[in-house]
Amino acid sequence: MIEVVLNVLGVVGLWLAVEYCLKQQTAESLDEASLIPFADDPEVARRVELATGKTVKAVAPEEAKPDWGNLEV
């Protein structure tokens, strides 16, 4: 019985924490955040824009600097 009560308290605590963290967010900021995973690939960003009609603020991937290869540790 105590395990059930603790599980319910855990779920309620998680729900309250998520609500607290998201209460300052607007619908626009959450929508913009959902497009972040597509921002580093311009081709995928274009396909997402065509599919959803939403603008993705794409950035070009960072170019490797000369003499900066993969370091093995």
Do the Cβ atoms of 45 and 54 come closer than 8 Å? no
Q: Which residues of the chain fall short of a pLDDT of 70? A: 60-62, 64-65, 67-73
Q: Checking phi first, is residue 60 left (phi over 0); if not, alpha (psi -120 to 50) or beta?
A: beta
The string of pLDDT tens digits covering residues 45-56 is 888 888 888 888
> Taking the CB of residue 35, how many other CB atoms lie within 10 A of it?
17
For tokens 């960003």, what's the residue? 45
